[in-house]
Amino acid sequence: MRLLVTGGAGFIGSNFILYWLKKYPKDTIVNVDKLTYAGNLENLSSIKDNNSYAFVKADICDAKHMNTLMEGVDTVVHFAAESHVDRSIIDSDPFVQTNVLGTQTLLKAAINHKIKRFHHVSTDEVFGSLELNSKEKFSETTPYDPRSPYSASKAASDHLVRAFYHTYGLPITISNCSNNFGPFHFPEKLIPLAITNILEGLKVPVYGDGLYVRDWLFVEDHCEAIDAILQKGKVGETYCVGSMTQDVPNIEIVNQICALMGKNPGEVIEHVKDRPGHDRRYAIDFSKIQNELGWSPKHSFESALKSTIEWYRANETWWKHIKTGEYKEYYDKQYQQ
């Protein structure tokens, strides 16, 4: 099988490519990535000489280039997206351009080349926010209610993907996943930010009261979920992909990281001004993918967090190279008191 992976130099995309080529060495992958600030080819240095892998630097909004790249492709796995809520609040333009218009460009090219499967990777943030201390969870039937420019742009892309299925018969599947973490996670997100700041002897910024709840999914489990959807998922269906964490607030996540790294949370945590429209709680009911496709997360949060911390300890060069220049400017602006 020949796959076109968009955004394959990013966090989840690069983990997926490494996972797929290890499990399916006879398949070939073309990775197309614009290499914006979060795209990093160092993530894929271990396979750069693999004959089953090729990288193309391109913008998914470039229709001519996307049509060329889809020649002979069986499956498209679409990760490419602007994905950071904080950055979408600062400037929403790149989010609409990439997440909405870029997805439309790919869908049109997929129709032209009669792609056998177009899998769209989305987020639980399109469903909005849940109340703290409630038992409610997001599912495939939850109405869309995005609260940030990022989640709104992803919601729009989800609707486009479904429209191309109903209107043109494009064989699509969609997955809406919870917050991922693991190796190669760009250190502007909570878990890698906390780990790397502690390693640097810096404070860890925590928004507001720190009681925001996310459903933390280890990236390898996510890769296996996408694999299950591609192999056994029903065309036209959506699958919610969640984890086994049970309403753990962000402040507790940072406390656990501090404990595992031998730090006193009171000396490390720095509460900062909350961001606008901050969603209180996410939680996912993944019973559909579990019951229909036999997938469930294999990793406990505790074991995955330990291995993630060890990865950042062992790969200091990777993240220190990132936390300079544009990242430093963004960080200083975002967390200024």
Percent of the chain with pLDDT over 90: 85
Q: How many CB atoms lie within 10 A of CB 245?
A: 22
Active site includes 59?
Answer: no
Predicted local distance difference test score (pLDDT) of residue 337: 42
For 181, residues 6+ apart whose C-beta sits below 8 A from its C-beta are: 189, 191, 192, 216, 217, 218, 219, 304, 305, 308
The catalytic position among 125, 158, 220, 227 is 125
Domains and CATH numbers, the chain: 2-181+217-241 (3.40.50.720)
Q: What angle do CA 257, 303, 206 make, to 5 degrees?
A: 25
pLDDT in tens, 59-117: 999 999 999 999 999 999 999 999 878 888 899 999 999 999 999 999 999 999 999 99
Question: With contact defined as beta carbons under 8 Å apart, do 84 and 275 qualify?
Answer: no
DSSP secondary structure letter of residue 97: I
The catalytic position among 59, 124, 158, 279 is 124
pLDDT in tens, 119-145: 999 999 999 999 988 889 999 999 999
Average pLDDT of the chain is 93
3-state secondary structure of 56: strand
Predicted local distance difference test score (pLDDT) of residue 239: 98
Is pLDDT of 327 > 90?
A: no
Higher pLDDT, 135 or 327: 135
pLDDT in tens, 264-287: 999 999 999 888 888 889 999 999
Predicted local distance difference test score (pLDDT) of residue 37: 83
The secondary structure of 1-16 as a DSSP string is -EEEEETTTSHHHHHH
Higher pLDDT, 181 or 83: 181
The encoded tokens of residue 60 equal 């998914």
The catalytic position among 150, 207, 212, 312 is 150
Active site includes 150?
Answer: yes
First to last CA, the chain: 51
Predicted local distance difference test score (pLDDT) of residue 42: 93
